[in-house]
Structure 1
Amino acid sequence: MELFDEISFHHIPREENKMVDALATLSSMFKVIPHGDLSCIDIRCRVEPAHYCLIEEEEHGKSWYFDIKRYIKDKEYPLEAFDNDKRTLRWLAASFLLSGSVLYKRYHDMVLLRCVNAKKAE
């Protein structure tokens, strides 16, 4: 603290603190040497959610959540699924909710997010 001219503390509610939490986690990964060079963290704003950049349609043109939705609706596994694949699918399906034909991702705080294919909305 003696290296700073002024320090102030402000309380931020946990639900508004996600960016700060992420930055604190990143900063804990770097060793800081007083009066030494600091690592730079580059932050970019994206127009669409970052996970859209990682989601691709499968070769057969089905959405990334097709197997999850089919399992919840019909309790059907993919034909090529092994026992471990089936167990993983059941585990994944437990955190989703199907309402009519709409699939929602369920989070621990009971918030539901609608699953939409990154390429096109269903």
Structure 2
Amino acid sequence: MDDALATLSAMLLVNQGQEMNIQYHDIKGYLEKGAYPSRETEKNKRTLRSLVAGFFLSGAILYKRIVDWTLLHYVDEQEVKGIIKEVHEGTFDTHTNSHALALKILKLGYY
């Protein structure tokens, strides 16, 4: 865990190659169009409907509501790399461990 940037970048690859039933772009698509992804089972459709209640769409930006009504901004993989780089090497040039870096990113309102 010496290199926080490498550790957090590797976290992006966790789900690569694994098929997940419902992903965030499915939630965003459902909120935008009200349509389910193609070839979804009834169970996945029901799960998607229940998950959508925890999300908010403002324009093209997807937010996730948490318990204290804070809205966390959803970012895609390309934006994540930029955020990690900015927080890790950014204005204050702080080189912290991966746990502290992840907490800083969450405090900025990203997930």
When the two structures are superposed, what TM-score results if normalisation uses the length of structure 2? 0.54
Over 4 Å off, 4+ runs: none
Instruction: Supply the AA of the counterpart residue of 1:108.
Output: V
The percent identity for this pair of structures is 38
Question: Could you give the per-residue CA deviations for residues 68-106 of structure 1, whole angstroms, max 9, x where no partner exists?
Answer: 001111110012011111001111111111000000111
Q: Which structure has the bigger radius of gyration?
A: 1
Give the structure with the higher percent helix: 2
Q: Report whether the alignment pairs 1:54 with 2:17.
A: no
Tell me: CA distance 1:70–1:52, structure 2 relative to 1, closer, same or farther (3 Å): same
Q: Kindly indicate whether structure 1 or structure 2 has the higher relative contact order, using CA contacts under 8 Å at least 6 residues apart.
A: 2
CA distance in 2, matches of 1:57, 1:116: 20
Structure 2 counterpart of 1:65: 24
Q: Distance in 2 between matches of 1:81 and 1:74?
A: 16
Q: TM-score, normalised by structure 1?
A: 0.50
How many residue pairs match? The answer is 74
Unmatched tracts of structure 1, length 5 or more: 1-43
Corresponding residue number in structure 2 for 1:121? 79
Q: Please give the root-mean-square deviation of Cα atoms over the aligned residues, in Å.
A: 2.9
Are residues 115 and 51 of structure 1, via their aligned partners in 2, closer, same or farther at CA, if it must alter by over 3 Å? farther
Output the CA distance in 2 between the equivalents of 1:94 and 1:57: 28
- The match for 2:63 is 104
Matching residue of 1:88: 47
